[in-house]
Amino acid sequence: MPELPEVESIRLQLEKYLVDHVIKDVEIRYHKCFQGSKKDLIGGKVKQVRRFGKVLVIDLDNRYSMLIHVRMTGQLIYKGPNLKKVQKLSEKVKGGLGGKHTHVIFHLDYGGKLYYNDVRKFGWIKVAVSSKLKAESKFLKKLGPEPVIDKDNPPENPLTLEKFATVVQASGTSIKSLLMDQKKIAGVGNIYANDALWLVKINPTKVSKKLGTEEIKKLFKALEKVLKEGIKRGGASEIAFITPDGTEGNYQDFTLVYGKERELCLNNCGGKIKKIKISGRGTYYCPNCQKL
């Protein structure tokens, strides 16, 4: 679930709670999700929290950084002195904080703690040298340009209309698969890919390179629009997504087609949303509006 808007929501809070705090210890319970040495993190003070597509990068002042990818069910939950609002623990934290799905606990100064929970154990944490992030992370190295959702704070490798047109016109796969291919475009996952395509009435199975110039332009704008809407809503929390202070987003209640199988199309076209599979992924679209 966590796509660009969800990971950005996590980043904003991590920035708020972690910057200028020191990692005192790292408790690793499930070693498979942790690559590198925890010794490189201990004693480091958090300088900044960045995001590249769906990956979080926590930069420390000791020349090391920590890369975190929460994949689908990973959660980062903060408990500590500067958390003003004490929230009741979300039922989305399966097994409870520190329970069977807590795989790593970062012990911070002043008694703060950052918990990494992940029911399905797909997510990962990796320690890397800050100046060699791309060399040490295959994922970052291959990551494509990323849609701009905040003009005042653009990503390092922004997706421009020109770049978008180039990748779309070069690919023979379905446009939906292309949108979700992190090497081509960073940050877009299933929910926002479905919604963006519905918004511009393009059939998700349409071969990417068959899109016309106008369609490409409209889709580019729609992508930015749905991602911004996702951030505005604090992300989509349907399955496991919550932010470090325990807040849930509500984009799941405002999706355009995603998860709406058999429901009436929001365009009032009379069509009913159909669910198909594209590259093994659930895909929702309106057969009436989004004709091939």
Q: How far apart are CA 286 and CA 198, in angstroms?
A: 7
Nearer to DNA by Cβ, of 21 and 75: the residue is 75
CB of 172 to DNA, least distance (A): 3
Q: Output the CA torsion sign for 16, 49, 6, 34.
A: negative
Nearer to DNA by Cβ, of 240 and 289: the residue is 240
Nearer to DNA by Cβ, of 31 and 85: the residue is 31
Copy the structure tokens of residue 191.
Answer: 């929910």
Active site residues: 2-3, 54, 281
Nearer to DNA by Cβ, of 21 and 260: the residue is 260
Nearer to DNA by Cβ, of 22 and 179: the residue is 179
Residues that bind DNA (CB under 7 A): 1-3, 32, 53-55, 69, 71-73, 94-95, 100-101, 119-122, 138-139, 142, 171-174, 177, 180, 182, 189-191, 208, 258-259, 275, 277, 279-282
CB of 155 to DNA, least distance (A): 15
CB of 139 to DNA, least distance (A): 4
Output 138-142 pairs: Cβ under 8 A, ≥24 positions apart: 139/55, 139/67, 139/69, 139/182, 140/52, 140/55, 140/67, 142/182, 142/183
**Are 190 and 4 within 8 A, CB to CB?**
no
Cα dist from 128 to 29, 36, 136, 196, 256, whole Å:
20, 7, 6, 34, 39
For residue 115, the cross-strand partners are: 77, 105
Strand-pair category, 124-129 with 64-69: antiparallel
CB of 204 to DNA, least distance (A): 11
Q: How far apart are CA 186 and CA 144, in angstroms?
A: 5
